Amino acid sequence: MSAATATTAPAASLDADARIPLRGHLRHTGALIRRNLLWIRQDPESMFDALLMPIVFTLLFVYVFGGSIGQALGGGQDAYVQYVIPGMLAMMSMTMSQGVGTGFSQDFNSGVMDRFRSLPIGRGSVLFAKITVEVARMLFATTVLMIVSVLVGFEITSWTGLFAAVGLSALFASSIMWVFLTLGVILKNAQSVQAMGFLVLFPLQFGSSIFAPTDSMPSWLQHFTDYNPLSTLADAARGLMVGGPVAHDLWVTIGWSVAITAVMAPVAIHKFRTKN
């Protein structure tokens, strides 16, 4: 490809993308969602993380940390189950979001994205389809989480609150996926995306109220948890599922989700359109 062709290709794709009507974008997104689901059907091993991660993490935290942290909560392991399961819902939303970036990077390196970018389809449709399928995978993982949670003693006090918490987690997960999609475009391979994801995930997950109350943390770390969106998501899910204050954490989480999407979605789409 000549230098002139390489320079004009992104501009041509932008013009073609702008001429596609909304109905066309929706049709393209639906076709790509079907393509991604068929790929999962042909490769069921890609669902192992969504199946096994909720089981392993639930059993690990309940039976390894449940006794000691539960005593601090004043109720033993049963109290910890009621505390940690809503937090695990928040953790699933973040952990499962990482997969969209690694999968996107693999598609680039395998040449799949070059084929998509050569077709007369909306560039944003490729990203929206990816996010939709990953949210579906997250909901599957959440279903597994809730089944295991009931088996270890979690009591669902409000089905309405449960569905609201799941919806809130899906909203937040979809916003975080735009961050990982951007990483999937700008980083060279899936290993780099995964490494960067761990650098983001670990401080956010363990510097939050997901696994333990933040009262005993150092003051500087408590300040971090106050602004950590995973803390507000976990606390909102906890209030919805087992009772307690909800409004503040609910609106802060929604605000984080909207802000992250508003900033990162245009960035991800632009990077995808202009990537050579």
Angle CA 168–171–174, to nearest 5:
150
Residue 39 lies in domain: 3-274
Residue with tokens 């997901």: 210
- Give the pLDDT confidence score for residue 4 in this predicted structure: 43
pTM of this structure: 0.85
144-166 pLDDT tens trace: 999 999 999 999 888 999 999 99
* Residues 182 and 268 sit within 8 Å (Cβ to Cβ): yes
One-letter amino acid for residue 31 of the chain:
A
pLDDT tens-digit map of 251-272 = 999 999 999 999 999 998 888 8
The yes-or-no verdict on residue 174 having pLDDT over 60 is yes
Q: Pick 46 or 63 by higher pLDDT.
A: 63
Return the percentage of the chain with pLDDT > 70, whole number: 88
Length of the chain: 276
pLDDT for the residue 214: 86
| Residue 187, pLDDT score | 85
- Structurally, the chain folds into a number of domains equal to 1
Instruction: Encode the chain in three state secondary structure.
Output: CCHHHHHHHHHHHHHHHHHCCHHHHHHHHHHHHHHHHHHHHHCHHHHHHHHHHHHHHHHHHHHHHHHHHHHHHCCHHHHHHHHHHHHHHHHHHHHCCHHHHHHHHHHHHHCHHHHHHHCCCCHHHHHHHHHHHHHHHHHHHHHHHHHHHHHCCCCCCCHHHHHHHHHHHHHHHHHHHHHHHHHHHHCCCHHHHHHHHHHHHHHHHHCCCCCCCCCCCCHHHHHHHHHCHHHHHHHHHHHHHHCCCCHHHHHHHHHHHHHHHHHHHHHHHHHHHHCC
Bigger pLDDT: 125 vs 120:
125
